[in-house]
């Protein structure tokens, strides 16, 4: 049983969730707005937060930031409409545990809650995933990527891994460590996006008792924990300017000074950093120190977005189906042509993380051996159709075709892919619907 705070302004839906989760043994508190929820969060201890992305007085991110500043590392699940997925993936960078798209599927919700409760680690220290759960891919772009990794791994060079959210930067960092002389020593991964400004220095460099209010005992920092090994700083661009100065010093002088201590501790740590953004923009904006950037950027690895990985997409789909079969005790052996076509044509803004979530959901919703298109989020189809719309806005024929295509897609969704029903709703016969679907490439 877990104590869960739901922040959702749609009260009917919130009560539905409350009833459902109470029935599954959880204890639920409800809030409809962000501000009053802060009071609850400060006064009570929860095991999990389930938060709507759009709320009347803010967005789900505000709660993430609030918790981070208070040093609260309770997992957060963001509930978002599919249209907000692009921004929701950002919540992952900020330390939210997971997201789930609306309309919320009850089985999926239970699965996501179970995952986040079992992996309840402080969200700034990342949990390790078994190596067998990863594959490298076979495309030319994957070959080039792993050539670079093989080349730089055995050296002691600092590496910046750049890539969109969910492209597998942490996996790349772990691979670098495993292929280095430091493999027998610790690999410590820190999510700088989930660290509050105040806690970042203490987390990295440690502190002595009494260094600040709340420092009740001496604490070793992650630099010391990683001694002899590799320290992976994810979202390094989020470190404050003061911590950047301390980090630069640690790298240049190979010593750290815990907060409140006069002692210097020698450390031998290889630094690998990751960033979603081009840090050069942050340098130009004065938020990131140029000297630190050059110290960190002895070698740069660019991770490609999933939409540019060509044939790897299909490999990843099959890989995630196998993992999901194992984890969810399912037996999905194939994917229908319609569903496959959607998966291959969608542009995956949340990259491997989004793909893994969508496949997990698909497998969960497939009791038999063949996954069908209705196990995929409906909005994926709309998004794919919008991406492939032809013509410019001044081309009347193309515009009419676009409207027709969108209308057909949306009606098919409303009719739960029953084509006879969809044809009736569109006031055309089934044959015409089939020929139009074929013409517009609607799966
Ligand atoms: N090569 C891979 N094979 C299989 N799964 C992978 C691979 N790389 C990443 N993943 C999966 O994709 C998800 C995102 O990976 P990861 O956390 O490494 O991405 P990231 O780029 O560090 O994300 P962020 O920018 O949000 O920190 C994880 O669930 C991970 O298990």
pLDDT value at residue 379: 77
> What is the rounded average pLDDT of the residues 208-235?
89
Tens digit of each residue's pLDDT (9 = 90 or more) over 128-181: 556 678 888 999 999 999 999 999 999 999 999 999 988 999 999 999 999 999
Tens digits of residue pLDDT in 349-389: 889 999 998 999 899 889 999 999 989 987 788 788 776 65
**134 within ligand 1 shell (Cβ under 6 A):** yes
Asked if 317 contacts 343 with a C-beta cutoff of 8 angstroms, the reply is yes
Task: Supply the pLDDT for residue 290.
Answer: 95
According to DSSP, residue 417 is labeled T
- On the CB side of 352, how many CA atoms lie within 13 Å of its CA? 23
Among the listed residues 251, 270, 289, 243, the one whose alpha carbon sits nearest the alpha carbon of residue 189: 270
Asked, as a colleague might, if the bond just before 103 is cis with ω within 30 of 0, I would say: yes
> Which region among 57-71, 199-213, 270-284, 377-391 has the lowest average model confidence (pLDDT)?
377-391
Asked whether residue 200 carries a pLDDT value surpassing 80, the answer given is yes
In percent, the amount of the chain with pLDDT more than 70 equals 91
Please give the span between the terminal C-alpha atoms of the chain, in angstroms, as a whole number: 42
- Establish whether residue 189 lines the binding site of ligand 1, counting it when its CB lies within 6 angstroms of any ligand atom: no
Asked if the model's pLDDT at residue 226 lies above 80, the reply is yes
C-alpha 52/C-alpha 93 separation (Å) is 17
Distance of alpha carbon 46 from alpha carbon 436, whole angstroms: 52
Q: Give whole-number Cα distances, 23 to 55, 99, 312, 422, 430, in Å.
A: 26, 22, 42, 36, 44
Rounded CA separation 377/228 (Å): 46
CA–CA separation, 373 vs 417, rounded Å? 9
* Residue 356 in contact with ligand 1 by CB distance below 6 A: yes
165: Cβ below 6 Å to ligand 1? yes
In whole numbers, what is the pLDDT of the chain averaged over residues?
87
Between these two residues, 53 and 244, which has the higher pLDDT value? 244
In angstroms, rounded to a whole number, what is the distance separating the alpha carbons of residues 369 and 332?
4
410 against 342, higher pLDDT: 342
Residue predicted with more confidence, 197 or 12: 12
Residue 390: count of CB within 10 angstroms of its CB: 12
For the chain, domains (ranges, CATH) are 3-118 (3.40.50.2300), 131-302 (3.40.50.300), 314-440 (1.10.8.60)
Measured over all CA atoms, what is the biggest interatomic distance in the chain, rounded to whole angstroms?
82
Query: Does residue 191 contact residue 207 with C-beta atoms inside 8 Å?
Result: no
CA 241 to CA 219: how far, in whole Å? 23
Ligand 1 center–CA 300 separation, angstroms: 18
Instruction: Look at residue 275 in the predicted model and tell me its pLDDT.
Output: 92
Nearest alpha-carbon partner for 236 in 287, 286, 285: 287
Instruction: Report whether residue 89 contacts ligand 1, using a CB cutoff of 6 Å.
Output: no
Say what the ipTM of the complex is.
0.97
Tell how far the Cα of 109 is from the centroid of ligand 1, in angstroms.
Answer: 21
Q: What is the pLDDT of residue 87?
A: 64
Average confidence (pLDDT) over 22-41: 93
Provide φ and ψ at 233, rounded to 5°: -105, 105
351 Cα: distance to centroid of ligand 1 (angstroms): 8
38-77: pLDDT as tens digits: 999 989 999 999 999 889 998 888 888 888 778 788 888 9
Give the residue from 190, 291, 298, 194 showing the smallest Cα distance to 244.
Answer: 291
Give the pLDDT of residue 339.
93
Are the beta carbons of 360 and 324 closer than 8 angstroms?
yes
Q: Find the range with the poorest average confidence among 177-191, 315-329, 377-391.
A: 377-391
Count of other CB atoms within 10 angstroms of residue 402: 19
Distance CA 304, CA 163 (A): 6
Give the span between the Cα atoms of 356 and 377, in whole angstroms.
13
| Cβ-based burial of 368 (10 A; exposed 0-12, middle 13-18, buried ≥19) | exposed
pLDDT at 413: 78
d(CA 373, CA 416): 10
Q: What is the pLDDT of residue 24?
A: 93
* 83-135 pLDDT tens trace: 666 666 666 666 667 888 888 888 889 988 988 888 654 444 555 556 678 88
């Amino acid at each position: 049983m877990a104590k869960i705070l739901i922040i959702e302004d749609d009260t009917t839906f919130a009560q539905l969730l409350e009833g459902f989760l109470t029935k599954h043994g959880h204890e639920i508190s409800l809030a409809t707005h962000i501000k009053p929820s802060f009071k609850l969060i400060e006064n009570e201890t929860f095991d999990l937060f389930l938060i709507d992305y759009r709320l009347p007085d803010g967005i789900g991110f505000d709660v993430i930031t609030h918790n981070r500043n208070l040093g609260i590392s309770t997992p957060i699940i963001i509930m978002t409409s599919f249209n907000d997925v692009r921004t929701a993936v950002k919540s992952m960078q900020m330390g939210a545990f997971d997201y789930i798209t609306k309309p919320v599927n009850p089985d999926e919700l239970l699965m996501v809650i179970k995952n986040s409760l079992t992996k309840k680690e402080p969200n700034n220290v990342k949990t390790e995933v078994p190596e067998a759960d990863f594959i490298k891919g076979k495309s030319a772009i994957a070959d080039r990527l792993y050539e670079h990794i093989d080349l730089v791994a055995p050296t002691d060079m600092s590496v910046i891994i750049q890539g969109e959210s969910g492209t597998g930067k942490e996996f790349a960092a772990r691979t670098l460590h495993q292929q280095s002389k430091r493999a027998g020593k610790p690999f410590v991964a820190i999510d700088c996006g989930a660290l509050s400004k105040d806690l970042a220095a203490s987390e990295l460099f440690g502190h002595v008792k009494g260094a600040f209010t709340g420092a009740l005992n001496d604490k070793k920092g992650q630099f010391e924990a990683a001694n002899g090994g590799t320290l992976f700083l994810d979202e390094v661009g989020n470190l404050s300017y003061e911590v950047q100065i301390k980090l630069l010093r640690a790298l240049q002088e190979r010593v750290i000074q815990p907060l409140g201590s006069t002692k210097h501790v020698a450390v031998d740590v290889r630094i690998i950093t990751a960033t979603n953004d081009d840090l050069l923009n942050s340098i130009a904006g004065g938020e990131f120190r140029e000297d630190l950037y050059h110290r960190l950027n002895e070698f740069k690895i660019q991770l490609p977005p999933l939409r540019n990985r060509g044939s790897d997409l299909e490999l990843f789909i099959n890989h995630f189906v196998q993992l999901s079969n194992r984890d969810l005790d399912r037996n999905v052996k194939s994917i229908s042509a319609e569903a496959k076509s959607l998966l291959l044509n969608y542009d995956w803004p949340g990259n491997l993380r989004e793909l893994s979530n969508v496949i997990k959901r698909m497998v969960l919703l497939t009791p038999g051996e063949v996954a069908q298109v209705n196990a995929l989020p409906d909005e994926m189809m709309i998004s794919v159709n919008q991406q492939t719309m032809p013509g410019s806005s001044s081309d009347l024929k193309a515009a009419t075709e676009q409207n027709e295509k969108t209308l057909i897609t949306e009606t098919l969704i409303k009719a739960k892919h029953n084509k006879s029903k969809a044809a009736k709703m569109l006031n055309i016969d089934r044959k015409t619907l089939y020929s139009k679907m074929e013409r517009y490439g609607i799966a």
